[in-house]
Structure 1
Amino acid sequence: MDTISIAPTDRSPLVEFDFSQGRFRLEGESYPENSASFFAPLLAALRAFLESDDTRPVSFDLAMTYFNSSSAKALMNMFQMLEDAGARGREVVVNWHFHPDDDTMEEFGEDFGLDFENAAFRMRPTPKT
Protein backbone atom coordinates (compact mmCIF):
# COMPACT_ATOMS: atom_id res chain seq x y z
CA MET A 1 0.00 0.00 0.00
CA ASP A 2 1.35 3.42 -0.93
CA THR A 3 1.91 6.09 1.69
CA ILE A 4 -0.74 8.80 1.75
CA SER A 5 0.65 12.29 2.36
CA ILE A 6 -1.60 15.34 2.15
CA ALA A 7 -0.28 18.80 2.96
CA PRO A 8 -2.39 20.84 5.35
CA THR A 9 -4.56 23.70 4.13
CA ASP A 10 -6.45 26.41 5.96
CA ARG A 11 -9.37 23.98 6.28
CA SER A 12 -7.87 20.49 6.27
CA PRO A 13 -5.26 18.70 8.37
CA LEU A 14 -1.87 17.31 7.54
CA VAL A 15 -2.30 13.63 6.70
CA GLU A 16 0.53 11.10 6.82
CA PHE A 17 -0.51 7.47 6.51
CA ASP A 18 2.62 5.30 6.28
CA PHE A 19 1.23 1.80 5.82
CA SER A 20 4.67 0.19 5.53
CA GLN A 21 5.50 1.33 9.08
CA GLY A 22 1.99 1.13 10.57
CA ARG A 23 2.26 4.83 11.47
CA PHE A 24 -0.55 7.31 10.92
CA ARG A 25 -0.83 11.02 11.69
CA LEU A 26 -3.45 13.76 11.46
CA GLU A 27 -2.46 17.25 12.54
CA GLY A 28 -4.01 20.71 12.46
CA GLU A 29 -7.50 22.01 11.77
CA SER A 30 -10.22 20.02 10.04
CA TYR A 31 -13.28 21.67 8.58
CA PRO A 32 -13.08 20.88 4.86
CA GLU A 33 -15.97 22.03 2.68
CA ASN A 34 -16.90 18.41 2.06
CA SER A 35 -15.68 16.26 4.94
CA ALA A 36 -17.15 13.11 3.42
CA SER A 37 -15.12 13.41 0.22
CA PHE A 38 -11.97 14.39 2.13
CA PHE A 39 -12.13 11.50 4.60
CA ALA A 40 -13.68 8.76 2.41
CA PRO A 41 -10.41 7.68 0.74
CA LEU A 42 -8.58 7.82 4.09
CA LEU A 43 -11.22 5.68 5.78
CA ALA A 44 -11.19 3.19 2.89
CA ALA A 45 -7.40 2.89 2.92
CA LEU A 46 -7.24 2.53 6.71
CA ARG A 47 -9.98 -0.12 6.64
CA ALA A 48 -8.19 -2.08 3.91
CA PHE A 49 -4.93 -1.94 5.86
CA LEU A 50 -6.47 -2.96 9.18
CA GLU A 51 -8.42 -5.83 7.60
CA SER A 52 -5.39 -7.15 5.71
CA ASP A 53 -3.15 -9.99 6.85
CA ASP A 54 -0.56 -7.44 8.01
CA THR A 55 -0.06 -7.84 11.76
CA ARG A 56 2.46 -5.09 12.48
CA PRO A 57 1.62 -2.78 15.40
CA VAL A 58 -0.29 0.40 14.60
CA SER A 59 0.49 3.86 15.97
CA PHE A 60 -1.98 6.67 15.26
CA ASP A 61 -1.02 10.21 16.32
CA LEU A 62 -3.55 13.03 16.34
CA ALA A 63 -2.63 16.63 17.04
CA MET A 64 -5.82 18.45 16.18
CA THR A 65 -6.32 22.11 17.01
CA TYR A 66 -9.91 22.32 15.74
CA PHE A 67 -12.42 20.11 13.94
CA ASN A 68 -16.08 20.44 13.03
CA SER A 69 -18.84 17.91 13.66
CA SER A 70 -18.41 16.25 10.25
CA SER A 71 -14.72 15.73 10.92
CA ALA A 72 -15.55 14.42 14.41
CA LYS A 73 -17.75 11.78 12.79
CA ALA A 74 -14.89 10.73 10.50
CA LEU A 75 -12.54 10.54 13.51
CA MET A 76 -15.06 8.36 15.35
CA ASN A 77 -15.22 6.04 12.33
CA MET A 78 -11.41 5.79 12.31
CA PHE A 79 -11.35 5.14 16.03
CA GLN A 80 -13.94 2.37 15.67
CA MET A 81 -11.76 0.68 13.03
CA LEU A 82 -8.74 0.93 15.32
CA GLU A 83 -10.71 -0.43 18.27
CA ASP A 84 -11.98 -3.32 16.14
CA ALA A 85 -8.41 -4.12 15.04
CA GLY A 86 -7.38 -4.15 18.70
CA ALA A 87 -10.25 -6.52 19.48
CA ARG A 88 -8.90 -8.88 16.80
CA GLY A 89 -5.55 -8.93 18.61
CA ARG A 90 -3.60 -6.28 16.77
CA GLU A 91 -1.45 -3.95 18.87
CA VAL A 92 -2.93 -0.46 18.43
CA VAL A 93 -1.87 2.76 20.15
CA VAL A 94 -3.68 6.06 19.63
CA ASN A 95 -1.86 9.16 20.88
CA TRP A 96 -4.03 12.25 21.37
CA HIS A 97 -1.70 15.27 21.41
CA PHE A 98 -3.05 18.53 22.79
CA HIS A 99 -1.70 21.80 24.12
CA PRO A 100 -2.03 21.83 27.94
CA ASP A 101 -3.93 25.15 27.76
CA ASP A 102 -6.46 23.83 25.22
CA ASP A 103 -9.23 22.51 27.44
CA THR A 104 -11.52 21.82 24.49
CA MET A 105 -9.12 19.47 22.69
CA GLU A 106 -8.21 17.84 26.00
CA GLU A 107 -11.89 17.16 26.72
CA PHE A 108 -12.48 15.79 23.21
CA GLY A 109 -9.55 13.43 23.72
CA GLU A 110 -10.88 12.30 27.07
CA ASP A 111 -14.31 11.67 25.55
CA PHE A 112 -12.93 9.74 22.58
CA GLY A 113 -10.70 7.72 24.90
CA LEU A 114 -13.70 6.40 26.84
CA ASP A 115 -14.69 4.26 23.85
CA PHE A 116 -11.42 2.33 23.75
CA GLU A 117 -11.10 -1.04 25.45
CA ASN A 118 -8.96 -3.08 23.06
CA ALA A 119 -6.65 -0.37 21.76
CA ALA A 120 -4.51 1.89 23.93
CA PHE A 121 -5.59 5.55 23.96
CA ARG A 122 -3.00 7.89 25.43
CA MET A 123 -3.43 11.55 26.27
CA ARG A 124 -0.25 13.45 25.36
CA PRO A 125 -0.02 17.05 26.58
CA THR A 126 2.35 18.65 24.09
CA PRO A 127 3.49 22.27 24.40
CA LYS A 128 3.50 24.26 21.17
CA THR A 129 6.95 24.90 19.78
Structure 2
Amino acid sequence: MQRLKIDPTASSFFVDLNADTGIFNFQGESRPENAPSFFEPIIAWLITYRNTIEKDKDSHHLKVIFKLDYFNSTSTKYIVDIAKLLKSIDDLPNVNLATEWFYKSIDEDIRDSGNELIDWTGLKIKLIPYD
Protein backbone atom coordinates (compact mmCIF):
# COMPACT_ATOMS: atom_id res chain seq x y z
CA MET A 1 0.00 0.00 0.00
CA GLN A 2 1.29 3.43 -0.90
CA ARG A 3 2.67 5.56 1.92
CA LEU A 4 0.78 8.71 2.87
CA LYS A 5 3.14 11.53 3.83
CA ILE A 6 1.93 15.07 4.46
CA ASP A 7 4.49 17.75 5.29
CA PRO A 8 3.59 20.19 8.05
CA THR A 9 2.39 23.69 7.33
CA ALA A 10 1.85 26.70 9.57
CA SER A 11 -1.62 25.32 10.37
CA SER A 12 -1.38 21.53 9.98
CA PHE A 13 0.70 18.75 11.46
CA PHE A 14 3.13 16.27 9.91
CA VAL A 15 1.62 12.93 8.92
CA ASP A 16 3.50 9.82 7.86
CA LEU A 17 1.47 6.63 7.44
CA ASN A 18 3.84 3.91 6.30
CA ALA A 19 2.35 0.45 5.84
CA ASP A 20 5.77 -1.02 4.97
CA THR A 21 7.35 -0.08 8.31
CA GLY A 22 4.13 -0.26 10.32
CA ILE A 23 4.75 3.20 11.78
CA PHE A 24 2.04 5.84 11.71
CA ASN A 25 3.22 9.26 12.83
CA PHE A 26 1.27 12.44 13.65
CA GLN A 27 3.31 15.43 14.89
CA GLY A 28 2.90 19.15 15.33
CA GLU A 29 0.01 21.60 15.52
CA SER A 30 -3.42 21.35 13.93
CA ARG A 31 -5.64 24.29 13.14
CA PRO A 32 -6.26 23.91 9.40
CA GLU A 33 -8.54 26.43 7.74
CA ASN A 34 -10.19 23.64 5.75
CA ALA A 35 -10.15 20.68 8.14
CA PRO A 36 -12.03 18.26 5.84
CA SER A 37 -9.52 18.69 3.01
CA PHE A 38 -6.65 18.00 5.42
CA PHE A 39 -8.16 15.10 7.37
CA GLU A 40 -10.23 13.25 4.75
CA PRO A 41 -7.19 11.76 2.93
CA ILE A 42 -5.91 10.47 6.29
CA ILE A 43 -9.28 8.91 7.14
CA ALA A 44 -9.57 7.39 3.65
CA TRP A 45 -6.04 5.93 3.86
CA LEU A 46 -6.76 4.33 7.24
CA ILE A 47 -10.04 2.83 5.98
CA THR A 48 -8.27 1.40 2.92
CA TYR A 49 -5.47 0.07 5.11
CA ARG A 50 -7.94 -1.61 7.48
CA ASN A 51 -9.86 -3.16 4.61
CA THR A 52 -6.61 -4.41 3.04
CA ILE A 53 -5.16 -6.07 6.13
CA GLU A 54 -8.54 -7.42 7.20
CA LYS A 55 -8.32 -9.84 4.27
CA ASP A 56 -4.66 -10.62 4.98
CA LYS A 57 -3.68 -13.62 7.09
CA ASP A 58 -0.22 -12.22 7.92
CA SER A 59 0.45 -10.64 11.31
CA HIS A 60 0.81 -6.88 11.43
CA HIS A 61 2.72 -5.04 14.16
CA LEU A 62 1.92 -1.35 14.13
CA LYS A 63 3.19 1.61 16.11
CA VAL A 64 1.23 4.85 16.19
CA ILE A 65 2.89 8.01 17.46
CA PHE A 66 0.97 11.15 18.36
CA LYS A 67 3.13 14.11 19.33
CA LEU A 68 0.73 17.00 19.02
CA ASP A 69 1.57 20.38 20.49
CA TYR A 70 -1.82 21.95 19.85
CA PHE A 71 -5.08 21.18 18.06
CA ASN A 72 -8.28 23.16 17.79
CA SER A 73 -11.79 21.88 18.46
CA THR A 74 -12.45 21.05 14.80
CA SER A 75 -9.27 18.97 14.70
CA THR A 76 -10.37 17.18 17.87
CA LYS A 77 -13.34 15.66 16.04
CA TYR A 78 -11.08 14.28 13.33
CA ILE A 79 -8.46 13.06 15.80
CA VAL A 80 -11.22 11.11 17.56
CA ASP A 81 -12.28 9.68 14.18
CA ILE A 82 -8.67 8.64 13.54
CA ALA A 83 -8.47 7.01 16.97
CA LYS A 84 -11.72 5.12 16.33
CA LEU A 85 -10.32 3.82 13.05
CA LEU A 86 -7.11 2.80 14.81
CA LYS A 87 -9.22 0.94 17.39
CA SER A 88 -11.04 -0.90 14.58
CA ILE A 89 -7.64 -1.86 13.13
CA ASP A 90 -6.41 -2.96 16.57
CA ASP A 91 -9.51 -5.14 16.95
CA LEU A 92 -8.52 -7.25 13.93
CA PRO A 93 -7.20 -10.66 15.03
CA ASN A 94 -3.99 -10.36 13.00
CA VAL A 95 -2.97 -6.92 14.33
CA ASN A 96 -0.84 -5.88 17.29
CA LEU A 97 -1.06 -2.10 17.61
CA ALA A 98 0.85 0.09 20.10
CA THR A 99 -0.18 3.72 20.40
CA GLU A 100 1.95 6.37 22.09
CA TRP A 101 0.67 9.82 23.02
CA PHE A 102 3.50 12.24 23.76
CA TYR A 103 2.82 15.45 25.64
CA LYS A 104 5.01 18.16 27.15
CA SER A 105 5.21 17.43 30.87
CA ILE A 106 3.81 20.89 31.65
CA ASP A 107 0.91 20.59 29.17
CA GLU A 108 -2.01 19.15 31.11
CA ASP A 109 -4.46 19.88 28.28
CA ILE A 110 -2.70 17.63 25.78
CA ARG A 111 -2.26 14.94 28.45
CA ASP A 112 -5.96 15.15 29.30
CA SER A 113 -6.83 14.91 25.59
CA GLY A 114 -4.92 11.63 25.45
CA ASN A 115 -6.91 10.33 28.41
CA GLU A 116 -10.15 11.44 26.78
CA LEU A 117 -9.24 9.57 23.59
CA ILE A 118 -8.81 6.43 25.67
CA ASP A 119 -12.22 6.98 27.31
CA TRP A 120 -14.03 7.87 24.08
CA THR A 121 -12.59 5.18 21.82
CA GLY A 122 -11.33 2.31 23.99
CA LEU A 123 -7.99 2.53 22.18
CA LYS A 124 -5.08 1.53 24.40
CA ILE A 125 -2.74 4.53 24.52
CA LYS A 126 0.51 4.89 26.42
CA LEU A 127 0.82 8.48 27.68
CA ILE A 128 4.43 9.66 27.59
CA PRO A 129 5.56 13.00 29.07
CA TYR A 130 8.63 14.77 27.72
CA ASP A 131 10.46 18.03 28.39
User: What corresponds to 2:32 in structure 1?
Assistant: 32
User: What corresponds to 2:89 in structure 1?
Assistant: 85
User: What corresponds to 1:120 in structure 2?
Assistant: 124
SS at match of 2:27: strand
- Output the TM-score relative to the length of structure 1: 0.90
Q: Which has the higher helix share?
A: 2
Give runs of aligned pairs for residues 48-63 of structure 1, distance below 5 A: 48-53=48-53, 54=56, 55-63=59-67
- Output the TM-score relative to the length of structure 2: 0.88
Identity over aligned pairs, percent = 25
- Identify unmatched segments of 5+ residues in structure 1: none
User: What corresponds to 1:72 in structure 2?
Assistant: 76
2:128 aligned partner, one-letter code: R
User: What corresponds to 1:7 in structure 2?
Assistant: 7
Structure 1 stretches of at least 4 aligned residues deviating more than 6 Å after TM superposition: none
CA deviation vs aligned residue, 1:71-113 (integer Å, no higher than 9, x gap)? 1111111111111122222211111000100111011111112
- Name the Cα RMSD after superposition: 1.4
Distance 1:122 1:58 in 2: 14
User: What corresponds to 1:96 in structure 2?
Assistant: 101
1:41 aligned partner, one-letter code: P
